[in-house]
Structure 1
């Protein structure tokens, strides 16, 4: 197909909608058309500044779409303008028939068409695998339209042998399907496609614990047909009438800077490919020792840093603010409602808050930027606190721990890198929210997106949140790079703990990890597959801790040794309880409030709610996310029956910060509230409660010695196993499966019975915040 002038048809929406599970949303989407082939593209991080460099994430082999770059897009779009597009034969782009439609020259012409369609002059091209050949074609023929090339794991068009693979013909029938014989047109078209895909991606990701990367790529490979992949391969190899052109002669005409990144354990194409391309293009080579063929997916933090460093070297500084040295941060109270917003954007806040100091490009104003370096002896003690946004319990206990820590270190400065709804609690307590918090993608929004009717597969939800976790870690990495923090406290900040163990060289501060559960556990209906996945995740964590014990200076379990489930991490893995006892310090439970003082305030709270002395109050709450809407509706449906059984019952239903109370019905005898600060005050005032199975709310009620019904989210392994085990130890609460709560009569009966029950719970620790602060104080 001859190259034609690109025409552009913009996507169906000028301002694309927010996707809660993505690390970034495109600013604009469109289609570049060459003949009858449509190439779908997207632009992210449009900084509206012509001096900001553009990065084009070039397609790879059509077996995966541009979504492969999901762990790069969010971070790079914060610093640069980013263009992605689906290569022909993949994603939302056309799938023309025949090998001739898929030659390297066609892909290179598509690249040029996308540059024209997106008004991109001279970008930095970032490639993986086959994409390197297309970048070389483009750079050789259009040198003025490229600033540089980052070629990751180049694999095509070079005069380098791949032992074991090159000897196997792709286009002839074979009498074996062993090894690289699976890489065969006739095997794909004859029913062996699934087997090939599984084989290929297991070779692509030889690194241990790569289940998610393999799963993603296998899924993408099934978005196209075997015949399309056969055409794309024939076009690249010069089969079925296509003309294959080596890129070796073209490299002489590549004049832009080139960075080649290649894994030493690449089992798709050996390191010699990367070495040869670097030699031919007079470029630089970075060898990732122990890495396979997919560093953008398997080593995203290192890959992202390499890309950014190269782009800034060849195309100038980024367009995003950097965090340099001490930053003036407004108090949360002065921010007001600004920090309440769901900060799901990729850019800095536009609400008037102080932004980090910008290190701008090459303009004259850049010389006016003032920087200050403070000698270590003159620095105040600084802590960066990270509190999980999945629920509000972490925020409540973390604020209490921070207050206790300040008592021990009066000169302490604490900044919070936090998301909604945590920011609601922080604003209430006048804590300082770091302005870079605006760059975080919201984890609660992702969880809500993953949930069904009172159903949240928590383990899979975390797995599916990989691009958000990478994005948020990169924000954290930028913050600590210039923040001079003495201590980072991560309360279930999964991204920070995981990627610091994967990139321990980035640790430049004391690090304390806090959690109230240890160990991923499979749900029974997940079968052997889920059991294997959870065991693999647990094994990776155990191996990380054994190899890099220095990453965590303190591991704090919020609870006691007996609160840890007594189950194995998986086959041939240790007991969760024994391993946790050997690797954690125990703070006891942290309520974040004084139960005795809350009991004293209870009569006043009841009076504020209009609850009479002859009435009993039932409080219903489902935590800080929007997952609990179905449960709230079930309880509200049961109110009339419950009041028929117990006429003195009054209901107060708390929707929380992410559910609109106006969206819920309010039957007689029930009041629906929105976000309630210090929810424990309401719990202290109640006579009975109905809650989900979240640990914080259940333990609040246990500490207050209140009868309650708890209905764990289905498929939520933490609520199903970890929380229930702890509540059983305290002999607290009445467990009610959601299947039974669906029946209004059954739910009403459970509430009425629990309201009349005398409780005899084990006592809950009251000094947890102080004990946790003692464990942290010597780190700062």
Structure 2
């Protein structure tokens, strides 16, 4: 049997042809992954870019208005309701809370009338506080929620107060974030501007005007309003989200919702002051000191009226759930535990909570490290396993746990590594990336920006893990969520932290224009400022490569050079291949024989990494096989689909074999005469280290493959670059492969001690 056979996968047997199927690709479950939490029947609302999947969805119709609701983790005993805010945004605003809270509690969300998927009745009278509060009660009834903790933002506080005052048994507590409506508190600079009268100016708060919205100034108002709502620097994504959501409704609907709240156009406005005094449940008010929509005095007043507690977020604006999600999530979680009297165990450990607890004196505790390896592809996993092995060689008493996702778990299981059971609660980043990709086209920078709620969710899993486990060291190999949110919440760091990466700096694609250039520069500037202020968060920053591998471009206008800044802020381990080159080359003939490659044949290996985004390139190469074999009749093709592409979905023309997941893919690379690959760094550098000719086709709009990887390969004088447009032509692709096969190469030598050097840097931390 071939060493590349995947057990149970007949398509992976060397020398056999995979069956042809052009149906939809389905990612196979990973046998090495911990079992995912069970979902009840009907949990069919999965979305690859969401932090959680609704188990139940429904509609309650009240007075002819449909209100759409969702329930997450329906079996949990304690319910948290994320109450709608002003209709300018839907319930999706709570995306950074749903994933975390639904691991601990039953969570109910719903789109308020006038927003999202709910109805949009006409007229101000349909949007008074009493109407919204009645909808809240109707959703509680429709979801069989006897009582709940109500979490609100802005206007939602008024609706929760209405419900808690008039139906006290239904509210176990209220978390009121940035309350803004119905209180007897002035807002200097805003109160003097009439909302429902025509104005002769559109400066400042004059944009908050019914006639301006209806007269064509809606877009201008949105930019103004959300720019003030997110007063914190580097809030581009939050502003972008909210503006997009605000375009889901019309200016006329927003005008009606505002008139209803203000008591205009025939609506009756009711102060919540007497109602707030009547609230008997516990109340936590959270307000930013830099709230430029409603000042801190609003939060102070509501806390006073309800006899509640006040947490001031110094420097925060009007949207803390989006801008400071980690802090807000912890505040909500702590409050729910306090008011419900429940102690919620870590979700992954709920079924095995011990009946007794043990505290171990510090000097008796084993040394423990938690390793986080980026799941976008398999390259990180290979080098991280090698580094972990070297680290244990240098620190034999060190226990290493892995918090990991598919496909990384495939590699970890193969090497017998310990996977933390909380890994089951991570949302899959590869799935999101595949959802974002087009035909060999992945706008990597924008895809990562749009992965924000997954990154929040995964950081919250990490936060729970390190809070319940005594780790001496956390190693994050491009664990973007952990690095970012530790810098945003440095008080959560209670371990040594080592950060690893093989590129530095977000770079704009040329066709992104000035807008994308400004965005990438802003992201770079935020990172630079985080590192300057909280250098203590990273105890070690390791660059996988050499200084000359770093691109020599500026981070952006007025920002330093990427190379010079990296030189000042990183240690350099050299490249980490994760294998012994001489030993692997020595096995090449055995591997070729196992694949049925004859002595007079030459072998072309085609692989696109560990995610599913490379499937179009695999199909292009398979289309070019006949033309390539016409130019080089002795050429055999082995196409590796990887762990997230069904090999049976790919055609296998004469002279080509399609394999599934291949452990230790570098062994196959060492046996080839030429290769066709995507532009990922790991595979390209493997082939460089093995001194194999290869054609690489970077994903379109992938800034890392386009700039960082290509610059490194140019330094090594390795590979033949081929744009995807050229690869779309079977004859052109065939010609490129035929020119490379058998070519003598003279690449720069690749380091062989990178894993040991990286491990030495980490060993000093334990």
Q: Which TM-score bucket, shorter chain as reference?
A: over 0.9
SS of 1:192 mapped into structure 2: helix
| 1:706 equivalent in alignment to 2:692 | yes
SS of 1:147 mapped into structure 2: strand
Post-superposition CA distance 1:352-373 (Å, at most 9, x none): xxx46766xxxxxxxx721111
Find the counterpart in structure 1 of residue 59 from structure 2: 31
| 1:75 equivalent in alignment to 2:100 | yes
Find the counterpart in structure 2 of residue 182 from structure 1: 207
Inter-CA distance 568–108: structure 2 relative to 1 (3 Å threshold): same
Find the counterpart in structure 2 of residue 376 from structure 1: 362
* Aligned equivalents of 1:95, 1:21: Cα separation in 2: 27
| 1:629 equivalent in alignment to 2:657 | no
Contact 2:43 2:53 in 1 (8 A): no
| 1:563 equivalent in alignment to 2:549 | yes
Find the counterpart in structure 1 of residue 262 from structure 2: 237
Find the counterpart in structure 1 of residue 403 from structure 2: 417
Inter-CA distance 79–226: structure 2 relative to 1 (3 Å threshold): same
Find the counterpart in structure 1 of residue 442 from structure 2: 456
Contact 2:508 2:520 in 1 (8 A): yes
Q: How does 1:465-484 map to 2 (within 5 A)?
A: 465-484=451-470
Given candidates 497, 501, 509, the residue that maps to 1:511 is: 497
Find the counterpart in structure 2 of residue 773 from structure 1: 759
**C-alpha displacement at 1:176, in angstroms?**
0.4
**C-alpha displacement at 1:383, in angstroms?**
0.2
**C-alpha displacement at 1:253, in angstroms?**
1.4
Find the counterpart in structure 2 of residue 8 from structure 1: none
Find the counterpart in structure 1 of residue 520 from structure 2: 534
Given candidates 298, 304, 308, the residue that maps to 2:329 is: 304
Find the counterpart in structure 2 of residue 292 from structure 1: 317
Inter-CA distance 152–406: structure 2 relative to 1 (3 Å threshold): same
SS of 2:536 mapped into structure 1: helix
SS of 1:62 mapped into structure 2: coil
Contact 1:388 1:395 in 2 (8 A): yes
SS of 2:587 mapped into structure 1: helix
* Aligned equivalents of 1:464, 1:264: Cα separation in 2: 28
Q: How does 1:570-649 map to 2 (within 5 A)?
A: 570-649=556-635
* Aligned equivalents of 1:128, 1:356: Cα separation in 2: 30
* Aligned equivalents of 1:372, 1:411: Cα separation in 2: 21
CA root-mean-square deviation: 0.9
* Aligned equivalents of 1:493, 1:687: Cα separation in 2: 35
Contact 1:384 1:416 in 2 (8 A): yes
* Aligned equivalents of 1:705, 1:59: Cα separation in 2: 59
**C-alpha displacement at 1:252, in angstroms?**
2.0
Contact 2:113 2:132 in 1 (8 A): yes
SS of 1:484 mapped into structure 2: coil
Post-superposition CA distance 1:32-78 (Å, at most 9, x none): 110210000000112x25xx210000000000000000000000000
Contact 1:53 1:316 in 2 (8 A): no
Post-superposition CA distance 1:94-131 (Å, at most 9, x none): 00000000000000000000000000011000000000
**C-alpha displacement at 1:579, in angstroms?**
0.2
Find the counterpart in structure 1 of residue 19 from structure 2: none
**C-alpha displacement at 1:700, in angstroms?**
0.1
SS of 1:259 mapped into structure 2: strand
**C-alpha displacement at 1:656, in angstroms?**
0.1
Contact 2:284 2:335 in 1 (8 A): yes
Find the counterpart in structure 2 of residue 496 from structure 1: 482
Given candidates 107, 110, 123, the residue that maps to 1:85 is: 110
SS of 1:619 mapped into structure 2: strand
Given candidates 45, 69, 72, the residue that maps to 1:41 is: 69
**C-alpha displacement at 1:16, in angstroms?**
2.1
* Aligned equivalents of 2:357, 2:121: Cα separation in 1: 55
Q: How does 1:326-341 map to 2 (within 5 A)?
A: none
**C-alpha displacement at 1:14, in angstroms?**
3.2
Find the counterpart in structure 1 of residue 281 from structure 2: 256
Given candidates 716, 732, 735, the residue that maps to 2:718 is: 732
Find the counterpart in structure 2 of residue 10 from structure 1: none
Find the counterpart in structure 2 of residue 225 from structure 1: 250
Structure 2 segments unaligned to the other structure (5+ residues): 1-40
Q: How does 1:107-122 map to 2 (within 5 A)?
A: 107-122=132-147
SS of 1:41 mapped into structure 2: strand
* Aligned equivalents of 2:521, 2:396: Cα separation in 1: 43
| 1:193 equivalent in alignment to 2:218 | yes
SS of 1:151 mapped into structure 2: strand
SS of 1:652 mapped into structure 2: strand
* Aligned equivalents of 2:350, 2:467: Cα separation in 1: 12
Structure 1 segments unaligned to the other structure (5+ residues): 1-12, 323-346, 349-354, 360-367
Given candidates 194, 197, 220, the residue that maps to 1:172 is: 197
- What TM-score do the two structures reach when normalised by structure 1? 0.92
Find the counterpart in structure 1 of residue 169 from structure 2: 144
| 1:126 equivalent in alignment to 2:151 | yes
* Aligned equivalents of 2:341, 2:143: Cα separation in 1: 20
Given candidates 202, 208, 215, the residue that maps to 2:233 is: 208
* Aligned equivalents of 1:160, 1:547: Cα separation in 2: 36
Find the counterpart in structure 2 of residue 340 from structure 1: none
* Aligned equivalents of 1:744, 1:657: Cα separation in 2: 26
* Aligned equivalents of 1:14, 1:172: Cα separation in 2: 50
* Aligned equivalents of 1:536, 1:25: Cα separation in 2: 32
Find the counterpart in structure 1 of residue 26 from structure 2: none
* Aligned equivalents of 2:502, 2:243: Cα separation in 1: 34
* Aligned equivalents of 1:703, 1:201: Cα separation in 2: 50
SS of 1:665 mapped into structure 2: coil
* Aligned equivalents of 1:269, 1:380: Cα separation in 2: 51
Find the counterpart in structure 1 of residue 537 from structure 2: 551
Contact 1:356 1:436 in 2 (8 A): no
* Aligned equivalents of 2:630, 2:269: Cα separation in 1: 80
**C-alpha displacement at 1:587, in angstroms?**
0.1
Find the counterpart in structure 2 of residue 9 from structure 1: none
* Aligned equivalents of 2:537, 2:750: Cα separation in 1: 31
Find the counterpart in structure 2 of residue 695 from structure 1: 681
Contact 1:266 1:293 in 2 (8 A): yes
Contact 1:625 1:657 in 2 (8 A): yes
| 1:104 equivalent in alignment to 2:132 | no
Contact 1:620 1:689 in 2 (8 A): yes
Post-superposition CA distance 1:673-724 (Å, at most 9, x none): 0000000000000000000000000000000000000000000000000000
Contact 1:41 1:85 in 2 (8 A): yes
| 1:758 equivalent in alignment to 2:744 | yes
May I ask how many residue pairs the two structures share in their alignment? 726
